[in-house]
Structure 1
Amino acid sequence: MIIGRLTGEVAALGLDHVLIDVNGVGYVALAGTRLLARLRGGDKVTVQVETRITESSITMFAFATDEERAWFVRLQDVPGVAGKSALAILDGLTPSEIMDAIALGDAGAFVRAKGIGKKLGERIVTELAGKAPPIGRFGKFETAAAAGLTSAPAGAATGPRGEAISALTNLGYTPSESARAVVAAAREGAADNVSALVKGALKELAR
């Protein structure tokens, strides 16, 4: 049985994990400090879960949104990035910041995450450059508000940049070109919606 989401009450919080009571059954999931800081005992929440099964254990990782969960999985495509390293990156960078760092080749952004050295930061950028951002299990990402969390982390993306990159890729631009243009459009002040980002990105690509 693979668990993909939990809805219940926060029964207890640890340094790196949360216990969620779902109809009398307690589920323990590892979580980053960004999520743990937003939870309180007794909260009614929904968390997205990535389940990892080995011969000796079943481990669950909890996230505020499916976008964070998707990036957690994508980051581990990079050799040398394991579960805890991916959590550390997501503690230091929001999904939109991860996309910006990859598009701009900014390995230093990843080095700022706990336990990520210069070589691994460079490897992350190299391995993920030019690849389309991950998508949710069932299409569009769910927002933190829909998950029962009162506020999203500052600067968190809920999908517009990913959709804008996808739209540009469908127009014939490479994922790398699309990502750089969307990042540039966002930094030039394009509104955080798909239409505005695509229009701004097309202007960048035409320069």
Structure 2
Amino acid sequence: MIIGRLKGEVAAIGLDHVLIDVNGVGYVALAGTRLLARLQTGDAITAHIETRVTESSITLFAFATDEERAWFVRLQDVPGVAGKSALAILDGLSPADIMDAIALGDAGAFTRAKGIGKKLGERIVTELAGKAPPLGRFGKFEVAAVAGLASAQPASAATGARGEAVSALVNLGYSQSEAARAVAAAAKNGAEEVGALVKGALKELAR
């Protein structure tokens, strides 16, 4: 059985996990410190879940957004990045930050995460450079409601716009890595909407 989402109430909070009560059934899910710090017992929560099944256990990982869950999965495509390391990265970097770091070759950004050294940061950039950002399970990101996390949706919208801008540039003939780097630069200059990102990226590519 694969669990993709849980809607219920926060029953208890631990150092690295949360207990979610769903109609009287308690589900224990590992979670990053950034999410846990913004939860309180009794909060209503709809969390995106990544389920990991092995021969000896079933482990649930909880996220405020489907985009964070998708990046959690993508980061583990990199040799040396396991579940806890991926959670640590997402504690220190938002999906937008991750996209920018990969596009701009900024391996040092990943070393801000607990347990991520210089070599692993460089490997993450090398392995993921030129790849399209991850998508939701069904081709788009779902929105979840986590108490106290009203800012989660704008972040997804921002990175969604970046993905669309990168796709538009790729359709114009630019490589994935060229497009991602140019869009990241345009975003750092303040562009947010798809049209502004594409326009700013084209200026970067023309230099």
Range class of TM-score, shorter chain: over 0.9
Amino acid at match of 2:110: F
The Cα offsets for residues 90-112 of structure 1, whole Å up to 9 and x where unpaired, read as 00000000011111111111111
What pairs with 1:23-62 in structure 2 (closer than 5 Å)?
23-62=23-62
Cα distance, 1:140 vs. partner? Answer: 2.6
Do the aligned partners of 1:16 and 1:31 also contact (CA within 8 Å) in 2?
Answer: yes
Do the aligned partners of 1:64 and 1:149 also contact (CA within 8 Å) in 2?
Answer: no
Map of 1:80 onto structure 2: 80
Q: CA RMSD in A?
A: 1.6
Map of 2:190 onto structure 1: 189
The Cα offsets for residues 118-157 of structure 1, whole Å up to 9 and x where unpaired, read as 11111001101111111111233234xx524432269844
CA distance in 2, matches of 1:65, 1:140: 12
Choose between structure 1 and 2: higher helix proportion.
2
- Number of equivalent positions: 204
Alignment partner of 2:40: what SS?
coil
Map of 1:147 onto structure 2: 145
The Cα offsets for residues 60-88 of structure 1, whole Å up to 9 and x where unpaired, read as 00000010000000000000000000000
Amino acid at match of 1:194: V
Which TM-score applies when normalising by structure 1? 0.93
CA distance in 2, matches of 1:179, 1:122: 17
Amino acid at match of 2:151: A
Q: Any stretches of 5+ residues in structure 2 without a counterpart? A: none
Map of 1:19 onto structure 2: 19
Map of 2:138 onto structure 1: 138
Question: After the TM superposition, which segments of 4 or more aligned residues of structure 1 sit over 3 Å from their partners?
Answer: 153-158
Tell me which moved more, 102-111 or 150-159: 150-159
Amino acid at match of 2:190: G
CA distance in 2, matches of 1:40, 1:142: 23
Q: Any stretches of 5+ residues in structure 1 without a counterpart? A: none
Cα distance, 1:167 vs. partner? Answer: 2.1
The Cα offsets for residues 22-68 of structure 1, whole Å up to 9 and x where unpaired, read as 11111000000111111111111111010000000000000000100
Map of 1:91 onto structure 2: 91
Do the aligned partners of 1:8 and 1:21 also contact (CA within 8 Å) in 2?
Answer: yes
User: CA 1:44–1:154 in structure 2 vs 1: closer, same or farther (change >3 Å)?
Assistant: closer
Cα distance, 1:7 vs. partner? Answer: 0.6
| Identical pairs, percent | 81
Map of 1:167 onto structure 2: 168
Alignment partner of 1:62: what SS?
strand
Cα distance, 1:205 vs. partner? Answer: 1.6
Amino acid at match of 2:12: A
User: CA 1:205–1:129 in structure 2 vs 1: closer, same or farther (change >3 Å)?
Assistant: same
